[in-house]
Amino acid sequence: MTMLHTQSCRNSTLCATTPTRTRKATATSAATKKRIKKAKHRLRTKYETTVPHLLFFTLLLSGHCQQLAWSFNLEQRLPIVKYGPNVKAHFGYSVATHTIGEHNWPNNTKCLLVGAPLDQNLQPGTKDSGALWKCPITQNSDDCEQIITDGRRTYDDDSLIPQSADEIKEGQWMGVTVRSQGLGGKVLVCAHRYVTIVRENRYGQGLCYVLTNNLKFDEVYEPCKGRSVVRQHEDYGFCQVGTSGALLDDNTMVLGTPGPFTWRGTIFVTEIGGEYLERDKNMYYSDHSDATSPVDKYSYLGMAVTGGRYFGERMSYAAGAPRSNGHGQVVIFDKANTSPIPVRLIIDGEQFASSFGYELTTADINGDQKPDLIAAAPFYFSKNEGGAVYVYQNDKDMLPQKPTLKLTGTLESRFGLALANIGDLNKDNCEDIAVGAPYEGDGVVYIYLGSRTGLNSKPSQRIPASDLGGLLPKPIRTFGISIAGNTDLDGNSYPDLVVGAYNSSAVVALLARPIISIQTTYSGSELRNIDPNKQRCIGNASTNLTCFTFEVCCSIDPYEQSGTSKELNLLATVEAETYEHQKKFSRVFFDHDDKRSNVIKSEVRVGTNGRSHCQQIIGYIKDNTRDIQTPIKMRLSYTLVEPPLADSGLIRLNPMLDQTQAHIEFEGTFQKDCGDDDECESNLLLEAQLDAYKADENYALTLGEKEEVRVNVNVSNLADSAYETQLFIVHPKSISYIAALKKNNAICNRFNDTVVSCGLGNPMRRGSTTDVSIRFDPSSLELGETKLQFHIFANTTSKLVGSDRPERTLDVRVVKHTELTLRGWAIPEQSFYSGAVKLDNSPMKLEDVGSSLTHTFWIYNEGPWRAPKVLLTIDWPYQVYSERESGKTDQHLLYLVDVPTIENVQGECKVSPEYVNPLKLQPAYLSAPASMMMHPSKLQRNESYPHFVSTYHRIRHKTEALNPFKHGGGMATEAEDMEPSAPHNRVRRDTFIRIVRPERFMDGRDANGKTKKRHIVELNCNKAVNCIKIQCEIYDMPAKTETQVHVKARLWNSTLVSLYPRVDLVRIFSKAHVEIPNDLGVKQSDNNNNHIMVETRAYPELLDQQRDTSTPLWLCILAGVLGLVLLGIFTCLLWKCGFFKRKRPMDPTLSGNLEKMNEGKPFLDEKVF
């Protein structure tokens, strides 16, 4: 309900005068309002976000609309504008055109009738009760006068009396509906909010006045007055009669009354014409009872009404119920002299809340003398549309249930809020319609022309308020809220248009320009069989170009009613091929100068006496024109050179040409080798083969065997010459075009990424044959592409005949084949271990582990195709396995130093980080090459193993250590010595020994030269070893390329020393496997070379080839005894020689006989000295 109230003032009374009804309707309409509000918000958001992207398109559209605005005959440059005296009076809310006078009167008066529902009425004692205005057809904007409606109760009494105490005229909206029967007919004006008072109750029943032809009071109609109001709005308490109305050509008046029985709605029908005593004065109505009404409550049946003889000779009435079933309905009743009026047809709306049936009109849009129904849904919406108009075209006196045409307006424009039959604008005997969109900018009116096939889907004219010419004293807004027409206001025999703009209290009359009927013709013998090999023509015998000559003519009949002849200036335009964007470039030019334009224009002066005016045109064929078979299409068009506009359309309206007759299209044809009928019928035969192996009708392409793929095509023509013959080869995008082998005159070029086109001749003569060989490069095929398809076809601008079309399809199976070879070796091939395991926790370096070694895996792609991805899987002997029952843990074997590396190609190897140098050992120094040195563990005094030695086995007793069978990990075997140089005797050493010359160990034979049995232990992933997986991905290997994968490790010296001290040889194997993933489609025929095992041989150190540097014990004892004896002898000799006696000086103090001497006696005798 709110939706209808927002844009229709006539509905606002429903809330203002019916508080009970408002409360009941709120629950129904609240959900609708919420959905509509959300939908509008979404649409507005989408619209705002798309505006920047549509800016350029909008500019183009505006230019196009500008052309539309000038494309037909309503002169918007010279409008007649009338303003109401009160800006807030809603002057222009309803409009009608009226003619005062009879058919045989010489001086009939044309005028505009304008409703102003909020204006001050002439009746005394009223306020804002509404008024009806009459405006003369003048250029003045303020010369309208109010027609007396209220206050007069009799026909011959001119006095106006105030409103009585039992009625309320304030806000009654007099003028909400204004209708005229036209020439000699009556006028209807209504006030649907008129209120009567019965005791303390007020009833908004509405009323309508019928005025005579000269706008005098005739009758008042209050069809709800006197009917039951016991149940208030559930009866006839709020009829609101006059919300809509129609005056039909059978003197019938139809009043739309949407209020009875809780706004279920009804229509009232009565006769208003003819003699009063003879006419049927009964007021017939449609069924609106609760039990049998065609619509439910709150349907608003009667919001719009119209009528016509839709189903034959009997009159029918159509009433809109815009809220029926949510989407709206149109109910059609048959005329009958009974109540209720029987229902004939119900038409359903399309979209929920679109208010289908809000406005109705009737028009004969196809000129078959059968009226058609047009219904509007102004609240229809979609992503970019707002408002819709549905056309139901009459077919054999029947209206369809579904529309034959749907017209839509721009977003939120309320397209269809006004709808009117405006008569026959272009005099083609088909009536035209006008559609108002008052909220598209300041308002727009669209003109749609009828035709013999029905209403045109595109508007012939778009009239926005912003484009109105003249000096308007006030801006025009809500232009298109009401529309009327079908009346010739200026006497030029063309119907004019009147548009209301209530928000500006204005009415605009647009006068129709006279339409000139013009006949256009062309002639010229040279338009047929143009010979492209022949120079010169009739119009130019000296040119060296191919040309042709023709004439274009026009004639104009008198267009004024007086029949007098005038001369008009016309602009003749001939355009070849590029009109309506048929072609971007033309093969023809007309002016023989530097411009060489395919458009020629000339101004001619033509009289309106029916005589033809002709002019000669010469066309030239451009050089190197290939298309000499397709006709040259040309268009001749005439436009009127207009004189300056007059000051007013009432003074003079410039005529305009009938655009349906002002242009003509024709063509020129080439001379062709095509028989007498000049129609080339060619029969092309096509054969195609692929230069590849073929089996079972399919080709197999082994990639890599050949550098290119060739498609061989043979085309023959067995019938008429084929013009512009083209051969097209459609190929996959993954293979690229190289070139074509030229065996004849065929010219091939790359058309796009997937098409190669070849020209086979222009024309390709009868009986000729062309061979083409196309070369393609398959090196860029996609990985998963297993099939190729070549679609080959020939085409020509000639007509193709024959049972088979010239096309072939070649299916090719792609074979991707390659062979991979895997080899491997160890560097060095031999390693040595020795020493003993210490149990202390001293720090350990990487060199303390053991010998450095590298396993290298060599992969070679023998081809013929590349390997897109190669997977190398390495099983690496990481630890020696120990039985869990024994309580021992696994011991390192080949200790990974780093992640494996790949040479020559792109790729990477993946191994779990926990297996790559898990002990985080660091190198102590730069070591020599692994083939030259071997570093067993440091076993010098005061050095020991690091803290992790506790995780390994303790050294067993010597007897247990010498028996390798008790360690379960390795497999001890008795075997013949496979190397003559094998060592003879090996034991563990407790000292660090550097092996400088490994070749010393090669001589392992005994004195007799015989070989000995040897103990050999094999360690691999199937025997006694825990292996880890190393996955390497090589991303691409072209044919005939190689790569190497290096795995660097250290031989764990301690493990072999502890487990295998008395064996002759420990053989340690890594295993590798190479493959190509199956999903890449690359196959290998031989997988025998895809597996390899790489061996490292570990030998214990040799005892019999080491020097014993220890000192015997007896020698140490003897040396000690001899040393003591020599020491004694030497000491005696020194004693005998007095070496141990010293001569000292005599000291009297040492005798012990010291005498006391006087002080004068010297202490010592001077003689002593």
What's the DSSP call for residue 238? Answer: T
Which of 820, 904, 823, 856 is CA-nearest to residue 1080?
A: 820
Residues ≥6 apart with Cβ < 8 Å to 525? none
**Between 945 and 744, residue with greater pLDDT:** 744
* pLDDT over threshold 60, residue 181: yes
Strand partners, 976: 1013
CB-based burial, 392-410: b 16+ in 10 Å, e otherwise = bbbeeeebeeebbbebbbb
The values of phi and psi at residue 613, to 5°, are: -120, 125
Q: What is the pLDDT of residue 532?
A: 86
Residue 984 Rama label (left phi>0; alpha psi -120 to 50; beta):
alpha
Class of domain 681-805: mainly beta
User: Which of 54-58, 298-302, 653-657, 804-808 has maximum average pLDDT?
Assistant: 298-302
Reported confidence tier of residue 42, pLDDT bands at 50, 70, 90 = very low
pLDDT band at 1011 (very low <50, low <70, confident <90, very high): low
Question: For residue 1002, what pLDDT is reported?
Answer: 37
In DSSP notation, 675-693 reads TTTT--EE-EEEEEEESSE
- Which CA distances in Å does 1087 have to 99, 135, 983, 1074, 1092? 104, 103, 39, 9, 11
Architecture of domain 818-1100: Sandwich (2.60)
**What pLDDT does residue 992 have?**
27
In the chain the first and final C-alpha atoms are separated, in Å, by: 159
- Radius of gyration over alpha carbons of the chain, in Å? 58
State residue 1144's pLDDT score.
63
Report how far Cα 910 is from the mean position of its chain's Cα atoms. 41
3-state secondary structure of 918: coil
pLDDT tens readout for residues 51-100? 333 333 333 333 333 433 345 889 999 999 999 988 899 999 999 999 99
**Fold match between 516-668 and 818-1100?**
yes
**Single-letter amino acid, residue 196:** T
Q: Which pLDDT score is estimated for 563?
A: 65
Name the residue with higher pLDDT: 694 or 631.
Answer: 631
> Taking residues 176-185, what's their average pLDDT?
94
Segment 810-837 shows an average pLDDT of 85
Which tokens sit at 645?
């506009």
pLDDT classification of 960: cutoffs 50, 70, 90: very low
How confident is the model at residue 697, as a pLDDT?
Answer: 67
Which parts of 148-280 are beta strand (E)? 167-168, 174-180, 187-191, 195-198, 201-203, 207-211, 217-221, 244-247, 252-257, 266-271
Angle between helices 19-50 and 9-16 (to 10 degrees): 140
Nearest CA to 874 among 1096, 1090, 1097, 1098?
Answer: 1090
Nearest by Cα to 910 from 860, 873, 879: 873
| pLDDT number for residue 154 | 65
Mean pLDDT across the stretch 221-240? Answer: 92
Torsion 85-417-205-26 (CA) sign: negative
pLDDT digits (tens, 9 = 90+) for 200-217: 899 999 999 999 999 998
- Lowest average pLDDT, out of 423-437, 753-767, 946-960, 1153-1167, goes to 946-960
Instruction: Give the other-Cβ count within 10 Å of 580's Cβ.
Output: 10
- Render pLDDT for 484-528 as a digit per residue (tens, 0 to 9): 999 999 988 899 999 999 999 999 999 999 998 899 999 999 998
1065 or 624, which is more confident? 1065
Cα 762-765-768 angle, rounded to 5 deg:
115
Q: Of 880-894, 906-920, 923-937, which gets the smallest average pLDDT?
A: 923-937
CA 132 from chain centre, in angstroms, equals 55
Sign, Cα dihedral of 103, 105, 107, 110: negative
pLDDT at residue 1168 is higher than 80: no
Alpha helices in 939-1018 (DSSP H): 958-961
Compare 1059 and 411 and report the one with higher pLDDT: 411
Cα 163 to Cα 193, 200, 636: the distances in Å are 15, 18, 68
| Paired tokens of 578 | 């590029």
How large is the average pLDDT for residues 276-283? 87
222 pLDDT band, cuts 50/70/90, is: very high
Contact 983, 833 (CB under 8 A): no
Name the range with the highest mean pLDDT among 368-377, 807-816, 884-893. 368-377
Is residue 177 pLDDT above 90, yes or no? yes
CA 39, 42, 48, 52 dihedral sign is negative
pLDDT at 583: 87
The CA distance from 241 to 177, in Å, is 10
1157 pLDDT tier (thresholds 50, 70, 90): very low
pTM for the structure as a whole: 0.59
Report DSSP letters for 164-188, one per residue.
Answer: PTTEE-TT--EEEEEEE--TT--EE
Show the CA angle centred on residue 35, arms to residues 30 and 37, nearest 5°: 90
Query: pLDDT tens digits for 669-692?
Result: 888 777 667 678 888 899 988 887
Note whether 1026 and 879 are within 8 A (CB): yes
CA nearest neighbour of 299 among 317, 285, 287, 284:
287
Per-residue pLDDT of 75-85, as tens digits, reads 999 999 999 98
Q: Does position 552 have pLDDT exceeding 90, yes or no?
A: yes
Residue 45 has pLDDT above 50, yes or no: no
Q: Residue 986: which of 901, 1098, 1149 has the closest Cα?
A: 1098
Which amino acid appears at position 65 of this protein? C
Q: Is the pLDDT of residue 1152 over 70?
A: no
Give the model's confidence band at 1106: pLDDT under 50 very low, under 70 low, under 90 confident, else very high. Answer: very low
**Beta pairing, strands 799-800 & 681-682:** parallel
Token pair in block for residue 554: 């026009």
Note the pLDDT tens digit of each residue in 3-27.
333 334 444 433 333 333 332 333 3
How high does pLDDT run on average in the chain? 81
Q: Which pLDDT value is given to residue 294?
A: 95
- The domain spans of the chain are 2-50, 516-668, 681-805, 818-1100, 1113-1144
Q: Which CATH superfamily is domain 516-668 in?
A: Integrin domains. Chain A, domain 2 (2.60.40.1460)
308 or 950, which is more confident: 308
DSSP state of 221: E
What are the structure tokens assigned to 181, written together? Answer: 């029967």
- 968, pLDDT greater than 80: no
Dist CA 295 CA 266 (whole Å)? 10
Residue 44: band (very low, low, confident or very high) from pLDDT cuts 50, 70, 90: very low
pLDDT tens for residues 1062-1090?
888 999 999 999 998 888 878 887 778 88
Which of 237-251, 666-680, 1090-1104 is most confident?
A: 237-251
Is residue 1162 over pLDDT 90?
no
Taking residues 879-893, report their average pLDDT. Answer: 74
Q: What does the pLDDT look like over 398-453, one tens digit per residue?
A: 999 999 999 999 999 999 999 999 999 988 999 999 999 999 999 999 999 999 99
Give the single-character DSSP code of 722: B
Closest CA to 265 of 285, 245, 291: 285
